[in-house]
Structure 1
């Protein structure tokens, strides 16, 4: 596979070694082959790794199959896939409820990853999981279209440079219209499917909540993730005494035909093109009015 990347206007001048190792996180083995096989060009020319690259330079990378070996994934049905954004490196799709993000077993072929793989078959590329949504949660998920960009996007997630926004319908009202929850989350020792607040040995988890609409029975919230722990929004809201309506794990007695949690927006700066990406789901998920009119 070959990619030509034009360094953006705000690119800070550095040498090729720094570009590959520090900025693009290219593994050492792959960097070695790029250098020895002269599979990296700058404006069409071969340069030494200590030479400098600047904004506007065109970097052409040629990767061989041995650099990033393909993996196996069964093809699903890509015809009904709702694609919100796609370029040479990334694809963002809208996941329906009751669908897994990826298989847990090799024989599975009805997860979102399988369907994205089917959609990408004509392009000759495979999708790589960037982040996940619970099976019961609908909304936007991003996949990498090549292993080169995968660690770059992973670092952006770790450094909180990808903003993910959710809508959640909860029982009752929060004490404030704007509320931040900073409570560590760990595994539930009594139920392997669940997570719980664990300030002693859990991992840091921070969620920002804003009330969009409310009535006496429930509230519609906008939820912003600062970290990405499993079931983070669900566990934080349960800890406040306001579990998500329809949550089969953390609010099993609630009325609701589905988990009322929808990933409706993604916002980030593309790490290779410097393009500002704003993606919003075409499906609103649900509203306070529509829920109570059922």
Structure 2
């Protein structure tokens, strides 16, 4: 694997060592291999780790196939992949409702990750999971296309540098904006479900904006400060406004769960380009 990255104009001067270790989060073992094999090039010449890099410099890394491990998956159907944004490092796609993000068993072949493996095989690349959406949820979801960018995207997600907005339809009239701050934990009686657990649960914060009251239902938008499993579903159910069509937290009342990851925005970690996508058509 060979990657060439040109540092953007607003990048602060730094050393190659600090760039690889602190900013790009290249694992220590891989950094050692890069240095010993002389597999780091600066502006076309073999580089030393103490050398300084500045905006406009071109850095090339040559990674061996076995430097990073990859769990192979069965190739699915590439025609089921709907890209919203793509470059050599990352891919944002529109996940259909009813499709799992990734397989839980080696013989599964009908998840989004399986279909992405087929789609990217033509580019001699592989998909890496950055985050997930519930099977019943549709919309924008981000994947890494190589192991170099994967830990960087993971850190960006943890530090809330990747923004996501969800569209949902809930039962009842919800005509005000609010923030739900309730801890979420596992349901002891049903391993599929989560519950509000203020004593032992994990912190979870959901910001809710009411958009339109539709008779006995309301269209809302949600932004999360945290990314707990089933967070929106559990939080909305806890205040008496469960999601329409939710098979777990409300009697199913629609053909699908009315939850859609409608927007995703971020700053590209290498180019500093502002990326903003909308996953159409949403719930309408």
Same fold judged by TM-score > 0.5? yes
Tell me by how many angstroms 1:283 deviates. 1.6
Structure 2: distance between partners of 1:2 and 1:166: 36
- The residue that corresponds to 2:126 in the other structure is 126
When structure 1 is superposed on structure 2, of 275-284 and 22-31 the one drifting more is: 275-284
- The residue that corresponds to 2:193 in the other structure is 194
Structure 1: distance between partners of 2:125 and 2:69: 12
Q: Deviations over 1:224-279 (max 9, x none)?
A: 12211100000110111100011010112x52111100111100001011111111
Structure 2: distance between partners of 1:248 and 1:284: 19
- The residue that corresponds to 1:210 in the other structure is 209
Q: Does 2:71 align with 1:71?
A: yes
Aligned alpha-carbon RMSD (Å):
1.2
Aligned partners of 2:175 and 2:210 also within 8 Å: no
Q: Secondary structure at the match of 1:141?
A: strand
- The residue that corresponds to 1:274 in the other structure is 272
Q: Deviations over 1:157-176 (max 9, x none)?
A: 00000011111100113362
When structure 1 is superposed on structure 2, of 19-28 and 52-61 the one drifting more is: 52-61
Q: Deviations over 1:194-213 (max 9, x none)?
A: 00111111111111111111
Aligned partners of 1:140 and 1:266 also within 8 Å: yes
Task: Map residues 51-90 of structure 1 onto 2, 5 A cutoff.
Answer: 51-90=51-90
- The residue that corresponds to 2:16 in the other structure is 16
Structure 2: distance between partners of 1:137 and 1:18: 39
Structure 1: distance between partners of 2:173 and 2:16: 54
Tell me by how many angstroms 1:104 deviates. 0.7
Structure 2: distance between partners of 1:56 and 1:285: 43
Aligned partners of 1:138 and 1:285 also within 8 Å: no
| Gap runs ≥5 in structure 1 | 287-294
Q: Does 2:111 align with 1:111?
A: yes
Structure 1: distance between partners of 2:62 and 2:135: 37
Structure 1: distance between partners of 2:35 and 2:56: 21
Q: Secondary structure at the match of 2:147?
A: coil
Structure 1: distance between partners of 2:185 and 2:249: 15
Runs of 4+ in 1 over 6 A off after TM superposition: none
Alignment coverage as a number of residue pairs:
284
Aligned partners of 2:246 and 2:253 also within 8 Å: no
Aligned partners of 1:15 and 1:53 also within 8 Å: yes
Task: Map residues 1-294 of structure 1 onto 2, 5 A cutoff.
Answer: 1-174=1-174, 176=176, 178-252=177-251, 254-286=252-284
Q: How does the TM-score come out when normalised to structure 1?
A: 0.94
Q: Secondary structure at the match of 2:78?
A: coil
Structure 1: distance between partners of 2:100 and 2:198: 29
Q: How does the TM-score come out when normalised to structure 2?
A: 0.97
Structure 2: distance between partners of 1:44 and 1:200: 57
Aligned partners of 1:185 and 1:205 also within 8 Å: yes
Structure 1: distance between partners of 2:112 and 2:175: 37
When structure 1 is superposed on structure 2, of 241-250 and 43-52 the one drifting more is: 43-52
Aligned partners of 1:246 and 1:259 also within 8 Å: yes
